[in-house]
Copies of this chain bind each other. A is one copy, B any other.
Amino acid sequence: MCPVHNINHPCTQKNGLVQLVADRNKSFIFRLKPGEIFQSHHGVIHHEALIDIPWGSQVKTHLGKVFIILQPALDDLLRAIPRTTQIIYPKDIGYIIVTMGIGPGSNVIEAGTGSGALTIALAYVIGDTGKLISYDKEEKNILTAKKNLVSFGLENYVTLKNQDIANGFDETNFQAVFLDLPNPEDYCSQIRKALIPGGYFGCILPTANQVSALITSLKRYNFSFIEVSELLHRYYKTTATRFRPEDKMVSHTGYLVFARKTTKHGEKIESS
Protein backbone atom coordinates (compact mmCIF):
# COMPACT_ATOMS: atom_id res chain seq x y z
CA MET A 1 0.00 0.00 0.00
CA CYS A 2 1.71 3.20 -1.03
CA PRO A 3 1.75 6.03 1.49
CA VAL A 4 0.96 8.76 -0.99
CA HIS A 5 -2.35 7.33 -2.11
CA ASN A 6 -5.67 6.41 -0.62
CA ILE A 7 -5.35 3.09 1.15
CA ASN A 8 -8.07 1.72 -1.08
CA HIS A 9 -5.98 2.19 -4.20
CA PRO A 10 -3.01 -0.17 -4.17
CA CYS A 11 -0.17 1.23 -6.22
CA THR A 12 2.73 0.19 -8.39
CA GLN A 13 6.05 -0.07 -6.63
CA LYS A 14 9.70 0.55 -7.40
CA ASN A 15 11.28 -2.68 -8.73
CA GLY A 16 7.88 -4.29 -9.19
CA LEU A 17 6.68 -5.97 -12.38
CA VAL A 18 4.15 -4.05 -14.41
CA GLN A 19 2.25 -4.67 -17.60
CA LEU A 20 1.42 -1.81 -19.97
CA VAL A 21 -1.55 -2.88 -22.03
CA ALA A 22 -3.18 -1.44 -25.13
CA ASP A 23 -4.94 -4.67 -25.93
CA ARG A 24 -4.29 -8.24 -24.88
CA ASN A 25 -2.16 -9.03 -27.88
CA LYS A 26 -0.14 -5.83 -27.51
CA SER A 27 1.31 -5.55 -24.05
CA PHE A 28 4.70 -4.91 -22.46
CA ILE A 29 5.87 -6.48 -19.20
CA PHE A 30 8.89 -5.01 -17.38
CA ARG A 31 10.27 -4.08 -13.98
CA LEU A 32 10.04 -0.49 -12.76
CA LYS A 33 13.51 1.01 -12.21
CA PRO A 34 14.05 4.67 -11.39
CA GLY A 35 16.03 6.31 -14.17
CA GLU A 36 15.00 3.88 -16.89
CA ILE A 37 12.76 4.62 -19.84
CA PHE A 38 10.04 2.49 -21.44
CA GLN A 39 10.42 2.66 -25.19
CA SER A 40 8.16 1.44 -27.95
CA HIS A 41 7.18 2.65 -31.38
CA HIS A 42 4.16 4.18 -29.63
CA GLY A 43 6.48 6.56 -27.77
CA VAL A 44 8.37 6.64 -24.48
CA ILE A 45 7.49 6.96 -20.77
CA HIS A 46 9.92 7.50 -17.89
CA HIS A 47 9.66 4.75 -15.27
CA GLU A 48 9.41 7.41 -12.53
CA ALA A 49 6.04 8.36 -13.97
CA LEU A 50 4.86 4.79 -13.47
CA ILE A 51 5.96 4.29 -9.85
CA ASP A 52 3.53 4.80 -6.96
CA ILE A 53 0.46 5.21 -9.14
CA PRO A 54 -2.74 3.20 -8.70
CA TRP A 55 -2.99 -0.09 -10.56
CA GLY A 56 -5.36 0.31 -13.46
CA SER A 57 -4.35 3.91 -14.15
CA GLN A 58 -4.14 5.18 -17.68
CA VAL A 59 -0.75 6.50 -18.73
CA LYS A 60 0.38 8.28 -21.89
CA THR A 61 3.53 8.09 -23.98
CA HIS A 62 5.09 11.30 -25.28
CA LEU A 63 3.25 10.55 -28.52
CA GLY A 64 -0.07 10.48 -26.70
CA LYS A 65 -0.65 6.72 -26.94
CA VAL A 66 -2.67 5.55 -23.92
CA PHE A 67 -1.81 2.39 -21.97
CA ILE A 68 -3.40 0.87 -18.88
CA ILE A 69 -0.93 -0.17 -16.20
CA LEU A 70 -1.78 -3.59 -14.77
CA GLN A 71 -0.36 -6.21 -12.49
CA PRO A 72 0.65 -9.10 -14.76
CA ALA A 73 -0.78 -12.54 -14.02
CA LEU A 74 1.01 -15.80 -14.76
CA ASP A 75 -0.84 -16.06 -18.03
CA ASP A 76 0.44 -12.64 -19.05
CA LEU A 77 4.02 -13.61 -18.18
CA LEU A 78 3.71 -16.77 -20.26
CA ARG A 79 2.42 -14.85 -23.26
CA ALA A 80 5.30 -12.37 -22.92
CA ILE A 81 8.12 -14.94 -23.02
CA PRO A 82 10.28 -14.62 -26.12
CA ARG A 83 9.52 -17.81 -28.09
CA THR A 84 12.92 -19.23 -28.91
CA THR A 85 11.68 -22.81 -28.57
CA GLN A 86 8.27 -24.44 -28.67
CA ILE A 87 6.25 -23.02 -25.80
CA ILE A 88 3.96 -24.86 -23.37
CA TYR A 89 0.47 -23.40 -23.46
CA PRO A 90 -1.38 -22.06 -20.38
CA LYS A 91 -4.13 -24.70 -20.77
CA ASP A 92 -1.49 -27.47 -20.53
CA ILE A 93 0.43 -25.80 -17.70
CA GLY A 94 -2.73 -25.47 -15.63
CA TYR A 95 -3.63 -29.11 -16.06
CA ILE A 96 -0.06 -30.24 -15.32
CA ILE A 97 -0.07 -28.28 -12.05
CA VAL A 98 -3.40 -29.67 -10.89
CA THR A 99 -2.71 -33.27 -11.97
CA MET A 100 0.75 -33.45 -10.43
CA GLY A 101 -0.37 -31.80 -7.20
CA ILE A 102 2.03 -28.88 -7.50
CA GLY A 103 1.43 -26.02 -5.07
CA PRO A 104 3.19 -23.83 -2.52
CA GLY A 105 6.06 -25.79 -0.98
CA SER A 106 6.21 -28.56 -3.60
CA ASN A 107 9.57 -29.89 -4.76
CA VAL A 108 9.73 -30.48 -8.49
CA ILE A 109 12.32 -31.41 -11.12
CA GLU A 110 11.94 -30.28 -14.72
CA ALA A 111 13.93 -31.16 -17.87
CA GLY A 112 14.58 -29.70 -20.39
CA THR A 113 14.34 -26.12 -19.36
CA GLY A 114 13.85 -24.85 -22.92
CA SER A 115 12.97 -21.18 -22.91
CA GLY A 116 11.71 -21.49 -19.37
CA ALA A 117 7.96 -21.09 -19.86
CA LEU A 118 7.03 -24.05 -17.67
CA THR A 119 9.89 -23.14 -15.32
CA ILE A 120 8.33 -19.73 -14.78
CA ALA A 121 4.89 -21.22 -14.22
CA LEU A 122 6.20 -23.80 -11.74
CA ALA A 123 8.27 -21.19 -9.87
CA TYR A 124 5.21 -18.95 -9.66
CA VAL A 125 3.04 -21.71 -8.20
CA ILE A 126 5.60 -23.31 -5.88
CA GLY A 127 6.69 -20.01 -4.33
CA ASP A 128 9.58 -19.57 -1.93
CA THR A 129 8.81 -22.49 0.34
CA GLY A 130 9.38 -25.20 -2.28
CA LYS A 131 12.20 -26.43 -4.50
CA LEU A 132 12.39 -26.30 -8.27
CA ILE A 133 15.34 -27.78 -10.17
CA SER A 134 15.46 -27.41 -13.94
CA TYR A 135 17.88 -29.36 -16.18
CA ASP A 136 18.91 -28.63 -19.74
CA LYS A 137 21.94 -29.97 -21.57
CA GLU A 138 22.03 -26.97 -23.92
CA GLU A 139 23.82 -24.02 -22.32
CA LYS A 140 22.01 -21.53 -24.53
CA ASN A 141 18.64 -22.71 -23.19
CA ILE A 142 19.86 -22.27 -19.62
CA LEU A 143 20.98 -18.72 -20.45
CA THR A 144 17.67 -17.84 -22.15
CA ALA A 145 15.63 -19.24 -19.29
CA LYS A 146 17.83 -17.38 -16.78
CA LYS A 147 17.18 -14.13 -18.59
CA ASN A 148 13.44 -14.74 -18.67
CA LEU A 149 13.35 -15.69 -14.98
CA VAL A 150 15.33 -12.59 -14.02
CA SER A 151 13.07 -10.31 -16.00
CA PHE A 152 10.09 -11.63 -14.00
CA GLY A 153 11.96 -11.64 -10.67
CA LEU A 154 11.65 -15.40 -10.24
CA GLU A 155 15.33 -16.36 -10.51
CA ASN A 156 15.71 -17.17 -6.81
CA TYR A 157 12.97 -19.77 -6.92
CA VAL A 158 14.76 -22.05 -9.39
CA THR A 159 18.05 -23.93 -9.56
CA LEU A 160 19.08 -24.20 -13.20
CA LYS A 161 21.44 -27.06 -14.07
CA ASN A 162 23.30 -27.32 -17.34
CA GLN A 163 23.49 -31.13 -17.23
CA ASP A 164 22.41 -34.08 -19.36
CA ILE A 165 19.84 -36.11 -17.42
CA ALA A 166 21.13 -39.26 -19.08
CA ASN A 167 23.66 -39.10 -16.24
CA GLY A 168 20.87 -39.06 -13.70
CA PHE A 169 19.37 -36.41 -11.47
CA ASP A 170 21.27 -35.16 -8.41
CA GLU A 171 18.06 -35.22 -6.34
CA THR A 172 16.09 -38.01 -4.71
CA ASN A 173 12.68 -38.20 -3.06
CA PHE A 174 11.21 -35.40 -5.12
CA GLN A 175 7.44 -35.28 -5.46
CA ALA A 176 7.30 -34.67 -9.16
CA VAL A 177 9.42 -34.90 -12.31
CA PHE A 178 8.24 -33.28 -15.53
CA LEU A 179 10.00 -33.86 -18.85
CA ASP A 180 9.68 -31.78 -21.99
CA LEU A 181 12.13 -33.75 -24.11
CA PRO A 182 11.79 -35.76 -27.35
CA ASN A 183 12.81 -39.11 -25.82
CA PRO A 184 11.44 -39.41 -22.29
CA GLU A 185 11.30 -43.20 -22.66
CA ASP A 186 15.10 -43.26 -22.26
CA TYR A 187 15.05 -41.82 -18.75
CA CYS A 188 12.58 -43.97 -16.81
CA SER A 189 15.31 -45.42 -14.64
CA GLN A 190 16.65 -41.96 -13.76
CA ILE A 191 13.14 -40.70 -13.04
CA ARG A 192 12.43 -43.56 -10.64
CA LYS A 193 15.61 -42.77 -8.71
CA ALA A 194 14.63 -39.11 -8.37
CA LEU A 195 11.01 -39.69 -7.29
CA ILE A 196 9.55 -40.39 -3.89
CA PRO A 197 7.46 -43.58 -3.86
CA GLY A 198 4.09 -42.56 -5.24
CA GLY A 199 5.65 -39.51 -6.84
CA TYR A 200 4.34 -38.04 -10.08
CA PHE A 201 5.89 -38.22 -13.52
CA GLY A 202 4.58 -35.97 -16.28
CA CYS A 203 5.49 -35.30 -19.87
CA ILE A 204 4.28 -33.48 -22.99
CA LEU A 205 4.91 -35.04 -26.40
CA PRO A 206 3.95 -33.91 -29.91
CA THR A 207 3.63 -37.26 -31.71
CA ALA A 208 1.67 -40.48 -31.23
CA ASN A 209 4.81 -42.51 -31.92
CA GLN A 210 6.58 -40.92 -28.96
CA VAL A 211 3.64 -41.63 -26.67
CA SER A 212 3.66 -45.30 -27.71
CA ALA A 213 7.37 -45.58 -26.93
CA LEU A 214 6.90 -43.87 -23.56
CA ILE A 215 3.96 -46.07 -22.54
CA THR A 216 6.03 -49.17 -23.24
CA SER A 217 8.92 -47.85 -21.15
CA LEU A 218 6.73 -46.67 -18.25
CA LYS A 219 5.16 -50.12 -17.98
CA ARG A 220 8.54 -51.85 -18.10
CA TYR A 221 9.77 -49.59 -15.28
CA ASN A 222 6.74 -50.31 -13.15
CA PHE A 223 4.98 -46.97 -13.27
CA SER A 224 1.26 -47.07 -12.54
CA PHE A 225 -1.84 -44.91 -13.10
CA ILE A 226 -0.64 -44.06 -16.59
CA GLU A 227 -2.92 -41.43 -18.10
CA VAL A 228 -2.68 -39.98 -21.60
CA SER A 229 -4.83 -37.10 -22.73
CA GLU A 230 -4.91 -33.91 -24.73
CA LEU A 231 -6.65 -30.59 -24.23
CA LEU A 232 -8.34 -28.79 -27.12
CA HIS A 233 -8.79 -25.11 -26.42
CA ARG A 234 -11.52 -23.39 -28.36
CA TYR A 235 -11.99 -19.64 -28.18
CA TYR A 236 -15.28 -17.88 -28.87
CA LYS A 237 -16.01 -14.49 -30.37
CA THR A 238 -17.25 -12.12 -27.68
CA THR A 239 -20.20 -10.56 -29.48
CA ALA A 240 -23.25 -11.19 -27.32
CA THR A 241 -25.74 -11.24 -30.18
CA ARG A 242 -23.57 -13.38 -32.43
CA PHE A 243 -22.04 -15.89 -30.04
CA ARG A 244 -19.94 -18.44 -31.93
CA PRO A 245 -16.50 -20.07 -31.90
CA GLU A 246 -13.56 -18.33 -33.52
CA ASP A 247 -12.90 -19.45 -37.11
CA LYS A 248 -9.50 -21.03 -36.43
CA MET A 249 -7.99 -22.76 -33.45
CA VAL A 250 -4.77 -24.43 -32.40
CA SER A 251 -5.39 -28.07 -33.23
CA HIS A 252 -2.60 -29.64 -31.22
CA THR A 253 -0.03 -28.64 -28.65
CA GLY A 254 0.89 -32.06 -27.33
CA TYR A 255 -0.18 -35.29 -25.71
CA LEU A 256 0.05 -35.07 -21.92
CA VAL A 257 1.29 -38.23 -20.20
CA PHE A 258 1.18 -38.76 -16.44
CA ALA A 259 2.14 -41.72 -14.25
CA ARG A 260 3.10 -42.49 -10.66
CA LYS A 261 6.05 -44.45 -9.34
CA THR A 262 4.77 -47.51 -7.55
CA THR A 263 6.12 -50.88 -6.57
CA LYS A 264 4.73 -54.29 -7.37
CA HIS A 265 3.16 -56.40 -4.65
CA GLY A 266 5.79 -58.23 -2.64
CA GLU A 267 8.59 -56.17 -4.16
CA LYS A 268 10.98 -54.44 -1.75
CA ILE A 269 10.81 -50.66 -1.84
CA GLU A 270 13.88 -49.99 -3.92
CA SER A 271 16.66 -48.01 -2.31
CA SER A 272 17.26 -44.81 -4.18
Mark A residues whose CB is within 8 Å of B. 6, 8-10, 21, 23-24, 54-58, 66, 68-76, 78, 90-91, 93-105, 121, 124-129, 172-173, 175, 196-200, 206-209, 211-213, 215-216, 219, 224-252, 255, 260-263, 265-266, 269, 271-272
Contacts and interface: CB of A to CB of B under 8 A. Distances in A.
Contacts of A104: 103-104, 125-129
Contact of A240 (B121, B212, B227): B212
A9 to B, nearest CB: 7
Contacts of A105: 127
Nearest to A106: B73
A101 B152 CA distance: 13
Contacts of A244: 206-208, 252
Give the number of copies in the complex.
4
A183 to B, nearest CB: 13
A96 B94 contact: yes
Contact of A265 (B58, B70, B175, B237): B58
B251 A68 contact: no
18 contacts: A55-B196, A55-B197, A69-B198, A70-B260, A74-B99, A93-B94, A94-B97, A94-B99, A104-B129, A206-B244, A209-B212, A209-B241, A212-B241, A215-B240, A228-B237, A229-B234, A229-B236, A248-B250
A56 B198 contact: yes
Contacts of A197: 9, 54-57, 70
A176 to B, nearest CB: 8
Contacts of A127: 103-105, 127, 129
Nearest to A244: B207
Contacts of A76: 101
A230 B240 contact: no
A124 B95 contact: no
B72 A271 contact: no
Q: Which of A73, A209, A230, A265 has the most CB of B within 10 A?
A: A73
Given A94-B96, A232-B232, A245 B251 contact: yes
Contacts of A66: 265
B100 A73 contact: yes
Given A236-B255, A251-B248, A271 B6 contact: yes
Nearest to A208: B208
Given A56-B262, A94-B95, A95-B95, A10 B251 contact: no
